[in-house]
Amino acid sequence: MAAAPTTPAPPPPPPTYPWPLTGVETTDPVHRTALAVKIENSVESRPQSGLNGADMVWEEVVEGGITRFVAVYHSTLPPEIGPIRSVRPMDAAIAAPLRGLFAFSGGQRPFVDAVAGAGMQVVSHDGGAGGFYRSEDRYAPHNVYADPADFLAQADPAHSADPIEQFRMAGSADQPSVPAIGTPAVLVDLKLSGVSRPNWTWDAAQAAWLRAEGTTPASQADGQQLKATNVVVLRVDVVNTRYTDPAGNPVPETDMVGGGEALVATGGHTLPATWSKASEGDRVVLTNAQGAPILLAPGTTWVELVPRTTGAVTVR
């Protein structure tokens, strides 16, 4: 009697790889450098384009107490980002660990030189780099936009490698540190200055923190509310430099080297933490009260640079 035919074993699933800046697994990694872009956040600039497509966003206080963003793109490239504005003195230390591209429109020469000196490839609108264009829907200087793929196409051989992990990421969605040992929370309310009061509300249905500017939901141009998987709050020293803006306001600088108190919000929980950064080119390290590294959840991360003396953080 003939043997019954055997059913071939199914092929193994394709291997997965984590995107370095989000920890999200993919079966089709794209090898390219990281792109940091300076995005405006004045009232005139809202709603911005492409912020939800960033792997990471850093929010910093600039002149007059308004804030600007350093948005970092790697795993996802939205079709349009902006408005793009000028570089500031702390941007070199924020972006240096990426070793990639830094795109901006305008900036005082010492700040531009600092970005280049930190190992980043400068992509400057004023410097003649390609990829920038002005939108007819906005008025200057709030109308400079770009397709991030056009910036990445300009990467030179020294700035073409994948970025390294910037924060420690959990290997899966059920492994991050904060939900395991943190305190349940629904709101992280921030005072960055007298005119900048963003907050983040936990939305369990989306498994994300949703951003508002005061009482107004913060949305991007396509109507999506700005959101993040992780919100990392760093208490930082902010001092005025000897430089001024065109209106005569002193240009502040956030001291990114050193350390201090932090708060990490993930999965509807928050956890007090400590941050440290040994040098301009080193990454920020987050540790808990026992000195153990904190693992963020796979997904996007917003970093809030809250002034140590004049800012405030309230959790509910």
Contact 33, 206 (CB under 8 A): no
SS3 at position 98? helix
Residue 196: pLDDT over 90:
yes
- Start-end of H helices in the chain: 91-95, 109-117, 148-152, 177-181
CA contacts within 13 A on the Cβ side of 113: 3
Q: At 105, give phi and psi (nearest 5°).
A: -125, 100
Q: Write down the mean pLDDT value for the chain.
A: 96
Distance CA 88, CA 200 (A): 25
State the pLDDT at residue 1: 58
For the record, the structure tokens of 264 come out as 């990490």
Encode pLDDT of 120-161 as tens digits.
999 999 999 999 999 999 999 999 999 999 999 999 999 999
Q: Across residues 237-258, what is the average pLDDT?
A: 95
Distance CA 74, CA 121 (A): 15
pTM, rounded to two decimals: 0.95
Domains and CATH numbers, the chain: 31-159 (3.50.90.10), 177-315 (3.50.90.10)
Question: End-to-end alpha-carbon separation of the chain, Å?
Answer: 74
